Structure 1
Amino acid sequence: MAEDSNLSNVGARYAQALFDLAGDEKRIPAVEADLSSLRTAIADSRDLRVLLSSPAFGVEDKARGLAGIAAKAKFNPTTAKFLGLLATNGRAAALPEVITAFAKLSAAARGAVSAEVITATPLSAAQAKGLAAALRQALGKDPEITTRVDPAILGGLKVKVGSRLFDASLKSKLDSLKFALKRA
């Protein structure tokens, strides 16, 4: 557990450094777009997840892999250099945390709030629109929603905004019922 916390701290520090650099170069939107597409690639590619997290690959392999992705996707030079630095410093496994932390920093700079929504099945366009409207009303700010599908929650959804977690999943309700039955 401490290792996960350490990874998050590392991700936040690297994200802050990248955000500061991108701000100085007036490239925050471009870097954010690059990182968003990289987040999608990580979610879609098991091979990329293995490359980032496996100790079987050395820092040179990870740096070459990320450089190849950056070149193929025509990432901004700031993003490409940052990915190389992250890999060279042996922190490639922290890339998903860096992306999440960068998105939060960027949203805060724009006056928006980022929200992560976890559902058992993908949301339809109408559901996503309704959820965005409900979050806008509850938070008083425009939400920037990232969605993730996790079949383990069985149904319902979880919404994480900052350090707050709103859990309306079927799994948590069943767990609560199970706990109540055990106590009875």
Structure 2
Amino acid sequence: MKGNTILNTKVLEPYAQALLSLGQSNNLVDAFGDDARLILETVNSSDELQTFLESPFGGDDAKKAVLKQIFGGKIQPFMENFIMILVDRRRIMFLAGICQQYQVLMRQLKGIVLAEVRSAVELNDAQKEQIKQRVKTVTSANEVEIASEIDPDLIGGVVIKAGSQVIDASLKGQLRQISLRLAGLA
């Protein structure tokens, strides 16, 4: 989407870059990554919080008070100050996007690949480790992070997306392949 690219270029990217630079100069890249993950989980789990942050009618002081109450003592002081700057500059509605972009930049910096895994059932630790090893082999990454999602429509197996590569080892995918082969024979 063109609008999304403009949003990334004009707003999210510069703030995420600034946060990454701050993290690098203070040896807090990983800590900021943990903070970004916590912020994303918190904001994405509360429609009320999202609406409040996006509203132009909530005053800056009220937003700062709520954010300090939610995150105070749970995130790095630099990150807390960064959030307050976003409120002051009326960019707080982009907080989740900036945190997502920060994670993208941090992964690039550290050679980490994000593997988005959809499976029919919850994966155990051994299965996750197998997926990590497979993705490392395919992508030559230093590390692999897994973001898993349960998708009962897959029937069984997994679909792994790492960057532009997709590995479809699902029962649904295999049935689709069989169907295509049979259609070609008919």
* TM-score, with length taken from structure 2: 0.72
Q: Which amino acid aligns with 2:65?
A: R
Shift of 1:136: 0.8
Separation in 1 of the partners of 2:8 and 2:132?
Answer: 27
Structure 1 residues 114 and 99, CA gap change in structure 2 (3 angstroms): farther
Q: Tell me, in whole angstroms, the C-alpha distance in 2 between the residues paired with 1:97 and 1:40.
A: 12
- In the alignment, what sits opposite 1:127? 127
Kept in 1, the 8 Å contact 2:136–2:144? The answer is no
Identity %, equivalent residues = 18
Mapped contact 2:115–2:145 kept (Cα < 8 A): yes
Change (3 A) 1:7 1:145: same
After TM superposition, give the deviation of residue 88 of structure 1 in Å. Answer: 2.2
CA–CA distance in 1 between the matches of 2:66 and 2:8? 22
Distance in 2 (CA, whole Å) between partners of 1:101 and 1:128 is: 24
Corresponding position of 1:101: 101
**Deviations 1:54-109, CA, capped at 9 Å, x for gaps:** 45545443333222222142x21110011111222222232222222222322333
Number of corresponding residues: 171
TM-score (ref. length: structure 1): 0.72
Change beyond 3 A, Cα 1:33–1:5: same
Aligned alpha-carbon RMSD (Å):
3.2
AA at the equivalent of 2:102:
F
Runs of 4+ in structure 1 over 4 Å off = none
Unaligned stretches of 5+ residues in structure 1: none
SS at match of 2:72: helix
Structure 2 unaligned regions, length at least 5? none
